[in-house]
Amino acid sequence: MCSSAAVTRPTWSEKQKSQFSGAADIPIVRLNPGGLLDEKRATEKLLRQSGASYTVARPTGLKDDWPTGRPLLSQGDVAVGRTSRQDLANFLVRLLDEPKATGKTFEVLTVPGYPKPLEYGEVLDRLRPDAVGPVATAWSRVRSWFGGQQAATYGVLQQLLPGEEQNSAGLAMGQTYEQYDKKEEGRLGPRGAERVPETLGSS
């Protein structure tokens, strides 16, 4: 289902609105024209209760002329930004064959200029299933987990790695992400057998 970012924000507590004012105090939330966000939130709930296999993608502001780029996923309904309609359409089609998206709700925005990843399985695997509960009710449990905040930050930043493979752990020293994508050796040789200069800065 293609829903919308911000659908939960009209129901936020004053504390949440204050803590995440950059997400709560935006025009679509302030105006909520025709109760649109409420309608979408209710429709999401009906879908989850239906027993059908589902995925709910919530794009941020759709814009025809927004540059294409990499879809960035998050949860907690705090995403603000723009989404290329073309990128969103391509992404939604990719989700049709992605079992790791099933039973999950997440926001999506487009980071212009970044290449699209070859696959979305890894980032989707990091997302919390709806069965665990929404961020608002699960947050106390998340904070008690070791590195909860660190893990959340890591999950976002991993999506911003350069290149299509997005495999920072696979890089050899001196190899660029672009070289890795093209299966080209870096300037210091293959991973695990790098020819590292004894003195920094030497050739």
Encode pLDDT of 51-83 as tens digits.
999 999 999 999 888 899 999 999 989 898 899
Cβ-contact 81, 65 below 8 angstroms: no
Encode pLDDT of 5-50 as tens digits.
999 999 999 988 888 888 888 889 988 888 999 999 999 999 999 9
Closest by Cα among 177, 160, 169, 5 to 71: 160
pLDDT value, residue 171: 86
This prediction's pTM: 0.77
Longest Cα–Cα distance of the chain, Å, equals: 67
Query: Which amino acid is located at 37 in the chain?
Result: L
pLDDT value, residue 149: 58
pLDDT value, residue 156: 81
Q: Domain limits of the chain?
A: 9-160, 161-195
Encode pLDDT of 134-169 as tens digits.
654 444 554 544 456 556 766 787 888 788 888 888
- The tokens for 69 are 């780029």
**What are the backbone angles phi and psi of residue 62, rounded to the nearest 5°?**
-80, 135
